[in-house]
């Protein structure tokens, strides 16, 4: 049995290491030059759209596909759902639970990063949306702090400070970062998970508003699991069927 894991997340790396006896191929998008590699076989780079993915799945005799990409990798998820359905290959999405506001949180929900850019509640903003989204803020006059694994490419905001770092992050570290730069608002995607959740706790403690971008909807009718353990059980079930 050969399983393709569409990866790049911590859950994808864990899943790749918890399927002994099964051939696992992890696929990474290749957006980061030095990604954290999962155990086992790894391919890096896109598939070239639905036709490319279809050809690759057939050429590698894939028996099941687990989509453990980032919750905002909507195009990859839609393509994988479409092609696996056409080929009758079992497919599931490993979707970590999203974040929920708690007591004392001031969250403002929006449907896109573009909408977030139109509704900034303060002058000095910490953009935790990823380096590929900075173009949405390029024409604004606010002061921005952005954090990414690698330097962003233009267009970017005129008043931008970039911190190169990789999670997981601590509440203490996030508090220090926000205080150092006088942050008055946070913009983030509803990525979920623990690796980058500390910034939300820091925002609560500092009493600053958080603009949260909702997740894109998953394709209709797809199988969904919410944890690595559930994904392992799903894969094992396919192998026993």
Q: What's the average model confidence in pLDDT over 25-41? A: 88
Q: pLDDT at position 85, please? A: 98
Q: pLDDT at position 192, please? A: 95
Residue 180 has pLDDT above 80, yes or no: yes
pTM reported for the whole predicted model:
0.92
Residue 82 has pLDDT above 80, yes or no: yes
Q: What are the extents of the domains in the chain? A: 2-96+218-240, 107-213
Which tens digit of pLDDT belongs to each residue from 199-227? 999 999 999 999 999 999 999 999 999 99
Which tens digit of pLDDT belongs to each residue from 126-163? 999 989 999 999 999 999 999 998 999 999 999 999 99
Is residue 103 packed enough to be buried (19+ CB in 10 Å), middle (13-18) or exposed (0-12)?
A: exposed
Q: Indicate the CATH number of 107-213 among 3.40.1050, 3.40.50, 1.25.10, 3.90.1640.
A: 3.40.50
Q: pLDDT at position 127, please? A: 97
Predicted confidence band of residue 239 (pLDDT cuts 50, 70, 90): confident
Query: CA 180, CA 187: separation in Å to the nearest integer?
Result: 17
Q: pLDDT at position 39, please? A: 93
Overall fold of domain 2-96+218-240: Rossmann fold (3.40.50)
Answer whether 2-96+218-240 and 107-213 agree in fold: yes
Q: HSE, CB side, 13 Å, CA atoms: give it for residue 50.
A: 10
């Amino acid at each position: 049995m050969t399983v393709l894991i569409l990866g790049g997340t911590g859950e994808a790396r864990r899943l790749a290491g918890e399927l002994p006896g099964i051939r696992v191929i992890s696929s990474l998008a290749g957006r980061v030059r030095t990604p954290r590699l999962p155990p086992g076989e790894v391919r890096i780079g896109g598939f070239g759209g639905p036709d490319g993915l279809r050809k690759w799945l057939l050429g590698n005799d894939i028996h099941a596909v687990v989509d453990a990409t980032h919750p905002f990798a909507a195009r990859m998820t839609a393509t994988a759902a479409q092609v696996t359905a056409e080929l009758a290959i079992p497919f599931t999405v490993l979707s970590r639970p999203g974040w929920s506001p708690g007591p004392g949180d001031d969250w403002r929900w929006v449907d896109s990063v573009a909408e977030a850019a139109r509704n900034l509640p303060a002058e000095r903003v910490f953009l935790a949306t990823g380096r590929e989204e900075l173009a949405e803020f390029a024409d604004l006059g606010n002061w921005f702090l952005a954090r990414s694994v690698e330097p962003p490419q233009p267009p970017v905001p005129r008043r931008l400070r970039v911190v190169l770092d990789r999670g997981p992050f601590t509440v203490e570290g996030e508090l220090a970062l926000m205080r150092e730069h006088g942050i008055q608002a946070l913009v983030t995607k509803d990525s979920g998970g623990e690796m980058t959740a500390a910034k939300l706790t820091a925002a609560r403690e500092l009493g600053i508003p958080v603009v949260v971008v909702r997740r894109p909807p998953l394709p209709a009718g797809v199988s969904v699991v919410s944890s690595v353990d559930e994904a392992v059980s799903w894969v094992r079930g396919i192998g026993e069927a």
